[in-house]
Amino acid sequence: MLHANVRVSGKPQVNEGIHLTVSTSSTLLPAVVRPTADTLHWLSADHDAGPVLDLLDALGWAIGDTPEANVHATSPDGCVYVGWLPEDPSAWQRNIVWHVRVQPADGDAWVQEFGLHTPSEAVAGFLAALVTNSSC
């Protein structure tokens, strides 16, 4: 059983000397997972837009492609644009293949770009976090 004396910043408190009993079931605590070196498989770029486009399609985004094989997607509310630009010369000059532009309803626009060697699963994870926490 754990006991704790309550004290903040070294100053005596009104409740000093009260012992708090802390108990919890071990089934409520998260399991610690430590993968072994031979089970680690780090993502690497496969130059496939599939994971991102599948996510955006499932979210109901408008998706269009160009004859050059670039893909452009816009969120249903119009606040976010995602471009997959493998054939865009200006993207090549910046050494990027993914371009994300966000225009929040109540803030300044911002841009995030990802290079050719960024795994599409990582870009999909970024976008999933973005739309999950969106206030647009």
- Whole-number pLDDT of residue 105: 86
Q: Is the pLDDT of residue 36 over 50?
A: yes
- Whole-number pLDDT of residue 47: 76
What SS3 class is residue 57? helix
**Rounded mean pLDDT of the chain?**
80
Give the whole-angstrom CA distance, residue 41 versus residue 52: 20
Cα 69 vs. chain centroid, distance in angstroms?
26
**Could you report the per-residue pLDDT of 46-100, keeping only the tens digit for each?**
778 999 999 999 999 999 999 999 999 999 999 999 999 999 999 999 999 999 9
Cβ–Cβ under 8 Å, residues 70 and 83? yes
Q: How many CB atoms lie within 10 A of CB 52?
A: 25
Buried/exposed 19-47: b ≥16 CB within 10 Å, e otherwise: eeeeeeeeeeeeeeeeeeeeeeeeeeeee
- Whole-number pLDDT of residue 9: 44
Residues 6+ apart with CB under 8 A from 80: 74, 100, 101, 102, 103, 130, 131, 134, 136
Stronger pLDDT, 38 or 53, i.e. the higher one: 53
* Angle, helix 120-132 to helix 50-58, in steps of 10 degrees: 20
